[in-house]
Copies of this chain bind each other. A is one copy, B any other.
Amino acid sequence: MFKIGEFSRLTRVSARMLRHYEKCGLIDPAEIDRFTGYRFYSAGQIPLMNRIVMLRDAGFSIDEIGEVLAHGEDARFVREVIERKRAEIENAVALERDKLRNLARLADVMKGEAMGMIYEVELKRLPAVDVLATRGVLAAYDREGELWHKLGAYMGRHGIACEAGGYSIYLDEEYKDAGALVEVAVPVRQMGASDGDFTYKTLPEIGLAATVRFKGPYNQYAAATEKLGQWMEQNGYAFAGPLRGQAIVSPGDRADPADFLTELQVPVEKR
């Protein structure tokens, strides 16, 4: 039997974590002295501890480790869990890659130089439009493409004709990092029956909308809002509804993001 410090050196897990794993139900000492509270681990527990370490080093959380250990015999379960975790890690790698891409653009941004072009703000009336729409909660705004794919696939399956100029409508009252409710909609010539997530509806007319167009990838959004915000402040307008973007030239039309043309549209009212 080993005292906690010895077991710690042997397994390379800190005593702090040994106690923590115990509280989380991963591993109990083989024996606890009833009077002193000293923990004693047996050599037979080293394999279990090594599994825990292995799982931890593969990126599993404590809860997940508990689950895996409970189903340790079920090879199929283990295989599935591993596959799921693999996807998760690949995703994390992709996130780090995103950071690198952002980093590369950073020097320009810090100098206040924006790529792409932003046009002047216009005030106009936007007519009502019949659309086919679907919505979803996105992990981040740059995942909007997923919704478009979903909508595109549905339209393909049902042979629905697609007009140009899709809308992205940002429904959340307030931005949430972990989940933004976004609706994507394509104009249709003919309404149909709604079907689950996919609904036909009419986007109402916007009597007074402030609009600004920007060319380039969607991360130009930030620069465009600068202009829009400034215009609203200078001209004394206030928000009167959710912001939306209309794809004038979209990924469907051109491959190069530098060619994209997007119009930001927001209902406003004179203050």
Q: How far is the CB of A84 from chain B (nearest CB, A)?
A: 11
- Alpha-carbon gap, A175 to B15, bound state (A): 8
The bracket for how many chain A residues form the interface is 35 or more
The answer, yes or no, to whether A204 is at the interface (CB within 8 Å) is no
The answer, yes or no, to whether A50 is at the interface (CB within 8 Å) is yes
Copies in the complex: 2
Query: In the complex the two chains form, is B82's CB within 8 Å of A107's CB?
Result: yes
Chain B minimum-CB-distance residue to A4: B174
Q: Digit string of A40-76 for contact with B (CB within 8 Å is 1, else 0)?
A: 0011101100110111011100000000100010010
Query: In the complex the two chains form, is A233's CB within 8 Å of B1's CB?
Result: yes
Query: In the complex the two chains form, is A223's CB within 8 Å of B50's CB?
Result: yes
Q: How far is the CB of A226 from chain B (nearest CB, A)?
A: 4
- Given A9-B243, A14-B174, A51:B109 Cβ within 8 A: yes
Query: In the complex the two chains form, is B177's CB within 8 Å of A226's CB?
Result: no
Q: Digit string of A90-132 for contact with B (CB within 8 Å is 1, else 0)?
A: 1011001111101101110111100000000000000000000
Which of A54, A97, A174, A228: most chain B CB closer than 10 A?
Answer: A174
- Given A12-B175, A176-B14, A177-B14, A102:B54 Cβ within 8 A: yes
B residues in contact with A15, CB < 8 Å: 174
Query: In the complex the two chains form, is A103's CB within 8 Å of B86's CB?
Result: yes
- Alpha-carbon gap, A59 to B46, bound state (A): 38
Query: In the complex the two chains form, is B223's CB within 8 Å of A57's CB?
Result: no
